[in-house]
Amino acid sequence: MTIKHFLRAFKIKEVREKILFILGIFVLFRLMANIPIPGVHKEHLKQMFESFQTLGLLNVFTGGTLERISIVLLGLGPYITASVILQLLTMVFPQLEKLYKEGTPQEREKFEQYGRLLTVPIAAIQSAATLSFFVRQKAVSFSSPFVFFQAVLTITAATIFLMWLGELITEKGLGNGISLLIFAGIIADFPSNILEMVREYFVFLKAGFPVWQIILNYFLFIFISLLIIFSVVAVNEAKREIPVSYAKRVRGRLMYGGTSTYLPISINPAGVMPIIFALSILTLPSMVANFLLGRGGTLGAIAKALFSFLENPFLYGFLYFIFVFLFTFFYTMVTFDPKAISENLQKMGGFIPGIRPGENTANYLKYVLYRVLPFGGLFLSTIAILPSIVQHLTKIKAFRFLVGGTSILIMVSVILETARAIEAQVEMREYEKF
């Protein structure tokens, strides 16, 4: 989608109103992101973020709200975690799976309501655990337990409000509201990350690094950044096209069908969701470990061992790689329904040449999907851990958070998805004129 297409979209009143509405929500989200809870100690906060790698990664995920200890410091993490848990439960309870995949719009709404309700206790537990950890690290202090309870209540309410804003964006039909809010957070945090890169340049000079080595590192930084962007765009647009033919049908004097087209299967059908899910799951044990770290006995020992494990960059990177790969398969299995596609093709008189309609077509679609999915999973997993590897080589800390694979993938995926959604809205409005 070019600037010309965007301007054409902006001329259509309904599309323009939707775009302005979403931009307005972005502004509201950023205002909330800059409202801190009382009792923050900035110096201790800065030291804490320099000490714990998981906090830095989570800060990117929340759009910088965690670093500010704002009222939306959890971002949409609790809602995403609730979605993951609920979708995992569909694999255990057939009735829940039927409700999700085959239910009426009202039943699907009921399923989504379960996710919203589950978000509330998760948000409360995560906010209490996070604030307790911050208190132990002296990054924040509360005058009484009642003030602590008020802060937990405020963060939980803000998280629920943010979830509602995400759903409002989704209803506008210009992309996924959750992804768009995460995208807005990443973009808003870009300037501070660029300043961090400039600061690191002078730190390298003071440390006595040769100028040529610093310049070489930054060239490598730019090269890897561009490589990530181009590869993400290429994989997001890559599709396995399955030929589909439509039988000829005669109605009165008119003949319908007899055409051929393609059914596109994306190499990365899960999009950015596996990375978001993997981050949500990986941050949970880290939060629990942080919460229990100051305790004695068996619980304290377990928490210390878990914390040390998660703070090891190599072990954490390995777990991150595995989780992203597994969630690529899991999310695709939940959202992609070969049986429904096969039935829709059959209803429209379509068939795949050489494949019998019905169950055989569904099995063939599964076969094709499982052949392309490993490539998508490996790509996502590699992109997720690549920034950590490059940071280790170049020593540029900002790289991991400025153009981290997660950030780039979310930004590019959201831009492409939103561009397609806007284009579809424009084409629909122009089609209605005829």
pLDDT mean over 93-115:
76
In angstroms, the Cα distances linking 61 to 73, 98, 151, 326, 406 are: 10, 32, 21, 20, 8
Q: What is the pLDDT of residues 155-186, one digit of tens each?
A: 999 999 999 998 888 887 777 888 888 888 87
Question: What pLDDT digit, counting tens, does each position of 396-424 carry?
Answer: 555 554 445 667 777 777 888 888 787 77
Q: Which helix (H) or strand (E) holds 399?
A: helix 397-402
54 pLDDT band (50/70/90 cuts)? low
CB atoms inside a 10 Å sphere around CB 210: 10
By C-alpha distance, which of 412, 393, 387 is closest to 316? 387
Query: What integer is the mean pLDDT of 317-346?
Result: 83
Asked if the model's pLDDT at residue 30 lies above 50, the reply is yes
Q: Are 175 and 421 in contact (CB under 8 A)?
A: yes
By mean pLDDT, which of 44-53, 143-152, 343-352 is the weakest? 44-53
Closest CA to 426 of 10, 20, 3: 10
What is the CATH number for 229?
1.10.3370.10
Mean pLDDT across the stretch 295-313?
A: 70
User: Residue length, the chain?
Assistant: 434
| Burial call 400-414: b when 16+ CB within 10 Å, e when fewer | bbbbbbbbbbbbbbb
Backbone angles phi, psi at 240, to 5 degrees: -95, 115
Q: What is the pLDDT of residues 355-412, one digit of tens each?
A: 888 888 888 888 888 888 888 888 888 877 776 676 666 665 555 544 456 677 777 7
**In the structure, what pLDDT confidence band is assigned to residue 78 with cuts at 50, 70 and 90?**
confident
How many structural domains are present in the chain?
A: 1
In this structure, are residues 175 and 23 in contact, taking their beta carbons and an 8 Å threshold? Answer: no
Across 194-202, average pLDDT = 74
Q: Which residues of 248-267 are buried (b: 16+ CB within 10 A; e: fewer)?
A: eeeeeeeeeeeeeeebebbb
Q: What is the mean pLDDT of the chain?
A: 78
Say whether pLDDT at 238 is over 50. yes
What integer is the mean pLDDT of 316-339? Answer: 83
Domain, as residue range, for 288: 3-432
